[in-house]
Structure 1
């Protein structure tokens, strides 16, 4: 897998963050709120680790 494909996949995953945030606003989420919070934390860690590993430049 080339670096451009990885960047595109990370961008696709990162775009799902807003959806997870919107789920937290649902009043009937119940105990699933814990899972959504965990998913947000893990997504943020994944994106942060990717950005540390593959520095983003304007040319990429």
Structure 2
């Protein structure tokens, strides 16, 4: 897998994060709130690790 494909997939994952944040605003989420919070934490860790490994540059 080339770097551009990885960057595209990470961008797609970042888009899903917004959806999860929207779910947290729903009052009837119940016990699933724990799972949504866990998913957000794991996404944030994945994105942070990617950005530490492949830093953004002006030419990327």
Question: What range is the shorter-chain TM-score in?
Answer: over 0.9
- Matched length: 60
Aligned to 1:8: 8
Name stretches of at least 5 consecutive residues in structure 1 with no aligned partner: none
The runs of at least 4 consecutive aligned structure 1 residues that moved more than 2 Å come to none
Please state how far the C-alpha of 1:36 moved relative to its aligned partner: 0.2
Q: TM-score, normalised on structure 1?
A: 0.97
Q: Structure 2 regions of 5+ residues with no counterpart?
A: none
In the superposition, the TM-score normalised over structure 2's length comes to 0.97
